[in-house]
Amino acid sequence: MPADSLPNRFRSLFPIAEKYVYLNHAGAAPLAMPTRDRMVKVLDGIMMHGPLIADELEQLQCATRERAARLVHAQAHQIAFLRNTSDAISMIANGIQWKRGDNIVSSAVEFPANAYPWSRVAAVSGVEMRITNPEGRGLIDIEELLALVDERTRVVTVSWVQFASGQRLDIRRIGKFCRERNILFVVDAIQGLGALQIDVEKDFVDCFAAGASKFLLGTKGVSLLYMSDKALELVQPTVVGWTAVKEYSDYITHTTIDFRDGAARFEGGALNVVGICGLGEAIDLFLNAGPENIERHLAQLGSHVTTGLLERGYQLVGKYDPLAASSIIVCTHDRYSAEEICSRLERKNIITSARHEGLRISPHFYNTHGEMDTLLASLPS
């Protein structure tokens, strides 16, 4: 694929690119015009017609569910909409029937959204947390992670892409290991979904959670929860709302709870319909661009940036591997702090972020090689 063919097709849909070199999609993403337009149209419909468009809104939500399933090679009934990544992971952690002596395997470099829900379960249920890299710095060694697994391991949970280092884990390897041992494999996918390809079947993912406001190019207040059929059997809803049951539209309270089929039982009640419909438009962009093309373009940008960083005396956090590149590049400099570099760049309308001691650069598929050159030329050396 020719360099920048994706930006040539889609860049005009992102007005933010007219003013900024925006490279902070790992923090919070801008909206594309079709996403904004869909949300405004939904709001206008509610303003003008109120509940009379309820059926239309339901159809739009179903369409988003189907698009999300296509993006990750799942079935529509395996997708639920929740508020955020923490919400979705908490649903999984709280819904497992734990026994004293069970253990959960994870890492010390997880974002808190994929740490606190499991820590709470361990504290109240007599479950052991087994953590690799306990000092909480550096990269995850998969061998060390999997070495913590034993016959009482119920869950292995990691981020697909680490927020502070950009390390992309081989989730297929981890997932296969878990599947062979009947262990639930839970993935925090927020820093990869929308930028990288995932196939939940081939990658042996049992559950994933991903907020919409980063690489998915949606808004806050919406997240995707994927639950495999195996996970749907093992995880029970612990927050139960009126739409969690079959025949919920008859508005009758039953004495027993008969949960809906599929992941929608975890949604509970009224949803953020505006955000969900906007997310559907964003996912349409990914499907039209081709997830494989997006991942290839970001790998090309990443390779270009990392070469330039090394030439300018920057150190990469972790060894850059083009065959396992993520959507995030993190670097450091001997003389300048990440915060100082980030501030200098922002004064030039180049938007990055600082996480821990590293400067984090996170482009998306509408960013160009020319923007990468602008970034590199603007860095202090």
295-347 per-position pLDDT tens digit: 999 999 999 999 999 999 999 998 777 767 899 999 999 999 999 999 999 99
118-174 per-position pLDDT tens digit: 999 999 999 999 999 876 668 899 999 999 999 999 999 999 999 999 999 999 999
The terminus-to-terminus CA distance of the chain in angstroms comes to 32
CA within 13 Å, CB half, 339: 2
27-49 per-position pLDDT tens digit: 999 999 999 999 999 999 999 99
The CATH class, in words, for 40-288 is alpha beta
Domain range annotation of the chain: 5-23+290-378, 40-288
- Asked whether the predicted pLDDT for residue 225 surpasses 90, the reply is yes
Write the CA distances from 295 to 141, 286, 301, 320, integer angstroms.
24, 10, 10, 15
- Asked whether the predicted pLDDT for residue 211 surpasses 70, the reply is yes
Express as a percent the part of the chain with pLDDT over 70: 98
189-200 per-position pLDDT tens digit: 999 999 999 999
74-99 per-position pLDDT tens digit: 999 999 999 999 999 999 999 999 99
Report the predicted TM-score, pTM, of the whole model to 2 decimal places.
Answer: 0.96
The pLDDT of residue 117 is 98
- Angle (CA) 192 224 285, round 5°: 65
The structural architecture, per CATH, of the domain 5-23+290-378 is Alpha-Beta Complex (3.90)
